Amino acid sequence: MAKFKLNPFAQTVGPAFRQARVPMAVVEAKGAMLRCAINNLTQGEAAVAKSKDPFGDGPFGYNKTATGFELTSQLKQRDQAVKLIVGGD
């Protein structure tokens, strides 16, 4: 929006567009994390290193837990990283 700061229409529509894009981006990230989780379960942990976070510069973050694992994207929603938890209590 900084590029179009003199355009009043862009200043009005820009924030609304951004607000509408975030939920779609979360769905996109979680879909990619789900594919990564399936690859992790079928091919082993090395599959995570080969993954591509669509909102980052590398693979998803990976944290092994007592009952499974957690994948983390660099995408943030409400100041929290988007996560996918596999396994649980």
Structural domain count, the chain: 1
* Confidence band of 72 (pLDDT split at 50, 70, 90): very high
The structure's pTM equals: 0.78
Q: CB–CB of 70/84 below 8 Å?
A: yes
* Region 28-54 average pLDDT: 96
* Confidence band of 10 (pLDDT split at 50, 70, 90): confident
Give the pLDDT of residue 6: 64
Q: Could you list the residue range(s) of the whole structural domain that residue 62 is in?
A: 2-86
Residue 18, pLDDT above cutoff 90: no
Give the pLDDT of residue 1: 46
Distances (CA, A) of 62 to 2, 18, 21, 39, 50: 35, 28, 25, 13, 12
